[in-house]
Structures are given as structure tokens and as C-alpha cells.
Amino acid sequence: MLGLRISRYNKNGICERQNLALSFPLTKLYNHNYRDLLFGHGMTSYSVAFEPSGKQNYIEVGKTVFEAAQSMGVELKTLCGGRQICGKCKVKFEEGFFPKFGIYSKREHLSPPREGELRYLGQAAIADGYRLSCAATILGDLVIFVPEESRAIKEVLAKTATAKPVLLKPAIRNCYVELPPPSLGDTRSDWERLSEELARNFNLIALDIDYYAMRSLSNALRSGDWKVTVTTWTEHHVIKVKPGLVERSFGLAIDIGTTTLAAYLCDLSTGQIIATRSVLNPQVSYGEDIISRITYVTDSLDGLNQLNNIIMETLNSMVFNLASEAGITAEDIDEATVVGNTAMHHIFLKLDPQYLGRSPFTSTIRHSLDIKARDIGFKINPVANVHVMPIEASFVGADNVAAIISEEPYNQDEMVLIIDIGTNGELVLGNRQRLISASCATGPAFEGANINFGMRASSGAIEKIAINPKTYDVRFKVIGDVYWSHRMPRLKACGICGSGIIDAVAEMLHAKIIKPSGTFNKNIPSPRLLCDREEPEFVIAWPYETTLDQEITISQGDVRAVQLAKGALLAGAKILMKRMNIERLDKVILAGAFGLHIDKEKAMAIGLFPNLKLSQVYSVGNAAGEGARLALLNVDKRSEAAEIARRVEYVELSTDPSFTEEFVKAMTFPTPKNN
């Protein structure tokens, strides 16, 4: 029982749910110290959190980090089983205060490095905070980051772009020229010689050359024997001169999500995606949602620089990996497009985000930006242009603009509702006549936060659930396993992710374990219904099916958290429909990684969006990332984005007079159909 209580307190649960936590992501600023309460005296334990899984628990002093990870279901790679002889279980401790966990993580909170660690990691890595998890013992509160290479099973972060056909019209153009060499009779400067040739052959007039490119110009011309490839940006700016004929050029589309970063490396000459990568946004250590990130920036001394640095570091390492995968170098990337919600956008640009978080919610800029990679420490071609897409309003960012240019509701007669469910939910409603948008504070419930056993979509998370309405028997499937729970699964469950939560609620509703009001039916004759707890709970996985040595359940509070989140989304959709003066929709598009994973039928069963035929609901995956790719490959898409950002009318939902009424209605589940 003790273990159960701890994990609850630690997972943003009870203390918040008692409050009137309404239409905003819940942030946990003031952590209570439950340690004394739970452990009494004489036994010292420390709070340890792992990223990127976000798991947190109390661990006895003297345990190794590896043991802590095992006890919490954080799977680390190991060949030797924690005997300090394989060097695979490398982790990095984070330094500083982490408001999300209430942890002050310090170097002294781990035992000093041992000799074996030096051998496997080297002095420099140890100085950077890397340790072997099986050698380092816990002496204080800690936040530990598990690098990708040390994770036993990789994260499932489906921010893949479902590539659409696109007309190629990139801003980058390669021009191959052969120049007459200089002589005493022709002493034009190298630049004059080149620019005159470009004007003559390619009709490129009024060209200029970037200072960095200029510095390598003379040598490039001579080493190429006066045959060079000139890379221009928007046909008026030379950004690179390379000897010989170079046919391919590369660009990068980046989507900075609150939780996930996605990058697509594209061949600008063919439009193809040649490598894709998505990783967890490292800023999650500083808070799950944008409000807590903004608060971090406002409340800490160097917060903006810190958050900006870790995002740039991560992007640079992603670029490095993408380039190696494609057999090129990062410097071969000549342009990048960037999208993200407004807070991520501001932090990426080192613009102070604090005014986004307070009424009247103003951003520093709204229009798109073209800046040099070198000015923001982005390690691609330093001369490369970074095109940052425009934003609509403080809570409807460049990611939404990108989703719109990807789905093009403005070219359709049908009335389309685009629902982009990420850490925040954004809605766009309209067609070629008119477009309106809104931001719904769904909170991160659909990403597993505020749910007792919630977790992100990674290995071991229950992603699918089926409940027999007669026997109340439960079957589930975890990520990383092909078998359902009744067929000898390979992996045990360690939590429930967003799609699993939707499944659970829909199935519980169908089996009448919960009523349409969301209240538990305490008369269900099943040992899975636990009524002796603080609040009713329904068992999804028995202790032997989990890595936690306890049941994984869905509680009354979890159902309420889903009701709040889906209520915000549905109320938002209803208000937009009212503003648009329409009764029904022709089409619903679910965008975002979450949209790709959820079962549309189950989502409809819990009333996540207005009622319509299942065949009218589409999941399109990461539409924002796709929009960034389209803008990378076709400059006309950038003008479209600029126009859309101006044209979309933003609706502030929380001040709409009918919001409370719609919200109350929307929190109720639809009455289940009889089977």
C-alpha cells in the first residue's frame, strides 16, 4: 500500500485534483515534502526522477541508479546485468532545480566516479555528468537522463510525416557555371566575374554574396578550375560556392513540439524525405506544458538561455545524426524551416515568452522570419537561411499554420474541423470562405499526465484495451509487444499511454462500469472493481502483469481528468461551430502524433469531437511537420502561410459567454449504444 500511495503523489495526482483544476494544463509548482510522512524516521530515501520517461519515486540511500531504474520500470540497456563490466548503461545526471519534480539535482548526490567508469566513459564524459548507472549510488535527490543509446527499447514517437505530393519550388537553387579565367587583360574581381556570368546565364541580377561565402570564393573558383556550383537563396543571395558540379542540395524541416521534436531531412532536388528523426523535447525536465516552461523562464535567473541552449544542443545532435544517416555533413544543409507553438517558437528564437502566458497574451512578433543559421547557433551551413513560420495568436502558433497549409481547408468547400492534439489542443474550423481557430486547454491528460498510471507512449505502455461487457474481463496490449495480455506477452505493463486511456474510458463506458456522467457504477460484480480505496478504481492489469508489483488501474479521478480534457476540446469545437453558424461538420481531421494512435471509434464513443460518421474522420499524423516540409520544398507555401496567419480569425474560448454551459455539456459522455 505504501508504494501505491507514493506513486500517486508523485504523478501529479491527488493534491491537484482536489482543486478546481479547470481549463489549463496543471502545473505543479509547490511540491510538498511527503518523505517524512511516508517513511517516518530512521530510513533515508531520496526522490529520484528519470527522463525522458518522467517517472519519479523515492529510493533508499545507497541503491545504485541502475537498481532505482529497475524498480521503477525504466529499462536500461545492459549486457552484464549491472556488474560494471559492459559500459552500456550510461546515464547523465541533470544539474539544477527541476520544479516539475520538486528536485534539486546535484553532482554530490551521486557517489564519486569509480575507476571502471573512467575506463568506459573517459574523463570528459564524466565531467559532463555521464555515469555508469550500475556504479553510481544515490546519495540525494536526483534527476537522471537516459540517453537514447542506453534505452533498452526505443521510444515510440510517431511524428512521421505522411508525405504529400508537392510542387518543387525551393528557395535554394544550384547554378553550375564555367568562367573564363582572369588574365592581365581581364582583371575583374572574382565576384564580378562570377556575378556577371550568373546574370548572363541564369538571369540572376542584383545578386549579392554572403560574407561567409565570400571568404571561400577565391579558393573555390581556383580549386574547381573556374568551374563551380553556386548555391543561391531566393535567387538574390549567394550562400555557397563549391568547386565542380554539385547536383544535390539539402534542407531540413523541423517541428518543435512541447513534448516531441521532429526533423525531416529532405533532398531539395527531388523533394524526397531521406531521413527522419524524432526525440523527446529535453525541456520536459523543466515542465510538461508551455505554462510551466514560461514560468521557468520568468522565475529563474538564466531560464531563457538554459531552455534555448538545451533545445539547440538537441537539434544540433539530431542534425548530426540525420546527416550521418544520409551520408552527408550537417554543413551540406542549406536551408531549414521551423514550426512550433508560440512558446516553443519564442524560446527557439530567444524571445522572452513571459507575455504569452498572461492576459492579454501578446507575442513579440507574428510574421515569419528569415535568419541565418549562424545567428542562432544552429550547426548546419552557417550561411543557411532558417525560415521560421508565422504564428496566428499567442496560443495558436506556427505549428497550427503549418497544419493548415498541409491540410488546405481553404481550398475546400466542405466544412472541415482540424483537431491538433498535442500537449495543448488546437482547433481550426472552416472552408474556402472562412477559417476560425481556437486553443483548447486540454492539458496533458492525453499524454498520460494527471493520470495515476499515465505515461508517455513508450515501451511497456498499455496502448490498447478491450473489456468484455458481460464478464468485465480485460485484455490489453503494450507498446513493444505484438501479443495481447491473454496470449503470453513478452513485455509487462508499466503504465497507460494516451491511446490506452481513451480505450479504457470508452470500454468502461460500453461495459457500463462508468455511467455517462463519468461516475463509477459501484454495483458491478467484478473483483476488478476496487471500492475500498480512496476512490473507486477499475483494475486494467493485475500485479503479475505489471513491472510495478501492483495493479494498474483507472480511477474515478482518471476518468474525471479525461472528462475535463475532452470537455475542453468538444466545448471548443461546439463554440466554433456556433460562431461559424453551422450545425454539422463534413469532415474531422485528427492531427498530431496522438491522433495517429487513437482508435477513432473509441474517440467518438467518448465524445472527443462532434458526432459524425466514422468515415468522415481522418487521422493525418504530424500535419505541422508536414506543413514545415511543404514550406521547405515550395516557397509559394510560405506565402500561403503568411496569408493564412493573417486570415484565420482567432476565437478566445474562455471568455465566450456560453463556454461554461458548453463545457458542462461536453464533459458528459455520449450514452453508449446498446449491443
Partner 1 sequence: MDDLQQIADNLIKGRATEVKELIQATLDAGISPKDILNKGLIPGMDVVGDKFGKKEIWLAEVLLSARAMQAAMSLLGPILAASGVKPIAKVALGTVEGDIHEIGKNLVGAMLRGGGFEVIDLGIDVAPEKFVDVVKQGVSIIGMSSLVSTSMASMKTTIEALEKAGLRKQVKVMVGGAIVTQTYADKIGADGYAPNAASAVNKAKELLGLSSLS
**Minimal distance, residue 36 CB to partner 1, in Å:** 15
Q: Are 252 and 315 in contact (CB under 8 A)?
A: no
Residue from the set 102, 113, 340, 357 that interacts with partner 1 by CB under 8 A: 357
Q: Does 531 bind partner 1 (CB under 8 A)?
A: no
CB-count burial class (<10 Å; 0-12, 13-18, 19+) for 374: middle
Q: Does 424 bind partner 1 (CB under 8 A)?
A: no
**Minimal distance, residue 452 CB to partner 1, in Å:** 15
Q: Does 624 bind partner 1 (CB under 8 A)?
A: no
Q: Does 193 bind partner 1 (CB under 8 A)?
A: no
Cell of 350: 530567444
3-state secondary structure of 111: coil
What's the CA gap between 600 and 608, in Å, rounded? 9
Q: Does 663 bind partner 1 (CB under 8 A)?
A: yes
Residue from the set 45, 71, 269, 298 that interacts with partner 1 by CB under 8 A: 298
Q: Does 517 bind partner 1 (CB under 8 A)?
A: yes
Site map for partner 1, 539-558, x if CB under 8 A? -----------------x--
Q: Which residue has the cell 509548482?
A: 29
- 352-360, 472-480, 523-531, 623-631 -> range binding partner 1 (CB under 8 A): 352-360
Cell of 412: 475546400
Residues 564-583 that bind partner 1 (CB under 8 A): 564, 567
Q: Does 519 bind partner 1 (CB under 8 A)?
A: yes
**Minimal distance, residue 79 CB to partner 1, in Å:** 44
**Minimal distance, residue 21 CB to partner 1, in Å:** 4
- Residue 492 exposure: Cα atoms within 13 Å on the Cβ side: 17
**Minimal distance, residue 357 CB to partner 1, in Å:** 3
Maximum distance among all alpha carbons in the chain? 101
Q: Does 523 bind partner 1 (CB under 8 A)?
A: no
Q: Does 351 bind partner 1 (CB under 8 A)?
A: no
Task: From residue 512, give the alpha-carbon distance in Å to each of 165, 525, 541, 601, 611.
Answer: 45, 12, 19, 17, 21
- 39-47, 168-176, 515-523, 641-649 -> range binding partner 1 (CB under 8 A): 515-523
Q: Does 300 bind partner 1 (CB under 8 A)?
A: no
Cis omega (within 30 of 0) on the bond before 670? Answer: no
Task: From residue 639, give the alpha-carbon distance in Å to each of 237, 390, 571, 636, 643.
Answer: 19, 10, 32, 5, 6
Q: Does 189 bind partner 1 (CB under 8 A)?
A: no
- 152-160, 165-173, 351-359, 448-456 -> range binding partner 1 (CB under 8 A): 351-359
Q: Does 358 bind partner 1 (CB under 8 A)?
A: yes
φ and ψ at 311, to 5 degrees?
-70, -40
The residue among 357 and 595 lying less far from partner 1, judged by its C-beta, is 357
Q: Does 535 bind partner 1 (CB under 8 A)?
A: yes
**Minimal distance, residue 514 CB to partner 1, in Å:** 12
Task: From residue 546, give the alpha-carbon distance in Å to each of 453, 501, 534.
Answer: 11, 16, 22
Q: Does 521 bind partner 1 (CB under 8 A)?
A: no
Please report, to the nearest 10 degrees, the dihedral formed by the alpha carbons of residues 263, 265, 268, 270 taken in order: -120
Identify the H or E element spanning 537.
Answer: strand 537-541
User: Which residues does 32 contact at the CB level (< 8 Å), separation at least 6?
Assistant: 9, 15
**Minimal distance, residue 347 CB to partner 1, in Å:** 14
User: Of the candidates 254, 241, 183, 174, which has an alpha carbon nearest to the alpha carbon of residue 212?
Assistant: 241
Q: Does 652 bind partner 1 (CB under 8 A)?
A: yes
Q: Does 301 bind partner 1 (CB under 8 A)?
A: no
Under rule CB under 8 A, how many of the chain's residues touch partner 1? 43
**Minimal distance, residue 30 CB to partner 1, in Å:** 5
Cell of 516: 455517462
For β-strands 369-372 and 385-388, DSSP reports them as antiparallel
Q: Are 110 and 131 in contact (CB under 8 A)?
A: yes
Residue from the set 300, 412, 616, 668 that interacts with partner 1 by CB under 8 A: 668
User: Of the candidates 453, 542, 467, 543, which has an alpha carbon nearest to the alpha carbon of residue 498?
Assistant: 453
Residue 329's DSSP bridge partners are none
Q: Does 30 bind partner 1 (CB under 8 A)?
A: yes
CB atoms within 10 A of CB 455: 25
The residue among 110 and 554 lying less far from partner 1, judged by its C-beta, is 554
Q: Does 661 bind partner 1 (CB under 8 A)?
A: yes
- 27-35, 58-66, 416-424, 622-630 -> range binding partner 1 (CB under 8 A): 27-35
For β-strands 260-267 and 237-243, DSSP reports them as unpaired
Binding residues (CB under 8 A) for partner 1: these are 15-16, 18-24, 26-30, 32, 291-292, 294-295, 298, 354, 357-360, 517-519, 535, 556, 560, 563-564, 567, 652, 654-655, 660-661, 663-664, 667-668
